[in-house]
Amino acid sequence: MTVTWQVPVRDRIPSLVVTPAIVGHRGASGHRPEHTLEAYRTAIRMGVDDIEIDLVSTRDGVLVARHESELSGTTDVTDHLEFASRRDTRCIDGHKVTGWFTEDFTLAELKALTARERMPATRPGNATHNGTEGIATLTEVLAMVHAESMRRGRSVGVMIELKHAAYFDSIGLPLDDPLLAALHRHDLDRPWARISLMSFETDILRRLALRTKLPIIQLLDVGESHAALCTPEGLARIDEYADGIGPHKGLVLPRDERGAIGEPSSLVRDAHRLWLTVHVWTVRAENRFLPTNLRHGESPDAHGDMAGEVRALLDAGADGVITDHPELAVAAARELDT
């Protein structure tokens, strides 16, 4: 049965920016396998203000675009018998993970792999592009963004998330050194550059704040690990080293016992009082990811009213929305501006 109740109409809370940003999450990952150059290009064609990329390290210290260092979920590594012996189990960020890891491969070896769709059952259209692209390096992504910005006559920003930072520190592959070196080579280590640096881990962000003037964003997840940082006192601590926060959408629009969204929390207002920007993640079009009062039909993989969730987040004062389906978010944001 289709749920019919709607998000209540509310007065819009102002954001800190003139025009809130729409950000392509791992590119347009609702349309192409994530973190491929074509996923990023597709997001840019759809009109995003920024693309979001995640970075991990190879064995030889090259930063590549992957959501995590384990490779089997998003590449064809299991098809490569020459790498079968590298399957391993290790503890990363407090979780036991089994698979193949970027830190065990040189860049040249990783370039033998091709990208695959993470959720082929949910996004079968994406899976038709399996095997068409490889793993992109940070340098390749920055070069592509520059070329697309020049081609389209508008500057496209890049929001960079550093993954497993403490883990990579522990194995002698710190992420901040190659990151800052790459940004310097591209003349992007300047305050005017459209680059933001993000992580869930506080230590790497504090370290970066001492080494760069680029905006720093503290990512926040639901649950106990970040609960203290979501309080006014926690936000004041974030303000010591960061310029903004990136909260899970449930921290801005809490769901009730039915799974529906209603009135926003105070998080955006509390952050704005400290002049911290708020970029909310991750908005997706499929019913399984939407609140119950914005779903259409019974299929978990059918598209619901994602635009309604975008409007609710912007009404709550979000300065940016990070999404897998940029075309829907761009259209919703434009509607609010008219």
What value does the mean pLDDT take over residues 194-199?
98
pLDDT of amino acid 234: 98
Separation between Cα atoms, residue 31 and residue 13, nearest integer Å: 31
- Kindly report the CATH number assigned to the domain that includes residue 280: 3.20.20.190
Residues facing residue 64 across a β-bridge: 56, 137
pLDDT of amino acid 8: 53
Q: Which residues contact 42 (CB under 8 A, 6 or more apart)?
A: 24, 27, 28, 31, 32
Sign of the C-alpha dihedral computed for residues 303, 141, 176 and 196 taken in this order: negative
DSSP 132: S
Does 9 have pLDDT greater than 70?
Answer: no
Does 204 have pLDDT greater than 60?
Answer: yes
Does 185 have pLDDT greater than 80?
Answer: yes
Any domain includes 25: yes
What value does the mean pLDDT take over residues 261-269?
97
Any domain includes 55: yes
Does 15 have pLDDT greater than 90?
Answer: no
Contact 265, 282 (CB under 8 A): no
Any domain includes 3: no
Any domain includes 118: no
DSSP 333: H
Any domain includes 75: no
Instruction: Tell me the per-residue pLDDT of 133-180, one tens digit each, with 9 for 90 and over.
Output: 999 999 999 999 999 999 999 999 999 999 999 999 999 999 999 999
The CA–CA distances, whole Å, from 121 to 117, 286, 287, 300 equal 9, 12, 14, 11
Contact 24, 48 (CB under 8 A): yes
Does 4 have pLDDT greater than 70?
Answer: no
The label of the residue with tokens 């019974």 reads 298
Separation between Cα atoms, residue 104 and residue 245, nearest integer Å: 32
Pairing of strands 195-199, 21-25: unpaired
Q: What percent of the residues of the chain are helix, what percent strand, and what percent coil, each to the nearest 5?
A: 35, 20, 45
Any domain includes 97: no
Does 5 have pLDDT greater than 70?
Answer: no
Instruction: Tell me the per-residue pLDDT of 16-33, one tens digit each, with 9 for 90 and over.
Output: 888 999 999 999 999 999
Does 13 have pLDDT greater than 90?
Answer: no
Q: Is 95 helix (H, G, I), strand (E, B) or coil?
A: strand
Torsion from C-alpha of 46, 49, 54, 57, nearest 10 degrees: 110
Any domain includes 229: yes
Residue type, 56: V
pLDDT of amino acid 338: 63
Percent of the chain topping pLDDT 70: 96
What value does the mean pLDDT take over residues 56-80?
98
Q: Which of these, 9, 31, 26, lies nearest to 68 by C-alpha position?
A: 26
Separation between Cα atoms, residue 202 and residue 218, nearest integer Å: 7
In which band, very low, low, confident or very high, does the pLDDT at 14 lie, cut at 50, 70 and 90?
confident
Q: Which of these, 67, 102, 74, 68, lies nearest to 88 by C-alpha position?
A: 102
Average pLDDT value over all residues in the chain = 95
- Domain hosting residue 314, numbered range: 21-70+136-337
Instruction: Tell me the per-residue pLDDT of 216-253, one tens digit each, with 9 for 90 and over.
Output: 999 999 988 899 999 999 999 999 999 999 999 999 99
Q: What is the DSSP string of 9-54?
A: P-PPPP-SSSS-EEEEETTTTTTS-TTSHHHHHHHHHTT-SEEEEE
Our count of domains for the chain comes to 1
> In this structure, how many other beta carbons lie within 10 angstroms of the beta carbon of residue 51?
30
Any domain includes 104: no
Separation between Cα atoms, residue 43 and residue 117, nearest integer Å: 16
Contact 11, 24 (CB under 8 A): no
pLDDT of amino acid 189: 93
Cis peptide leading into 282, omega within 30 of 0? yes
Residue type, 76: D
In which band, very low, low, confident or very high, does the pLDDT at 212 lie, cut at 50, 70 and 90?
very high
**Which pTM was predicted?**
0.95
Number of separate helices (H) and strands (E) present in the chain: 12, 11
The label of the residue with tokens 């300047």 reads 190
Instruction: Tell me the per-residue pLDDT of 72-86, one tens digit each, with 9 for 90 and over.
Output: 999 999 999 999 999
Tokens at 311, concatenated: 């409007």
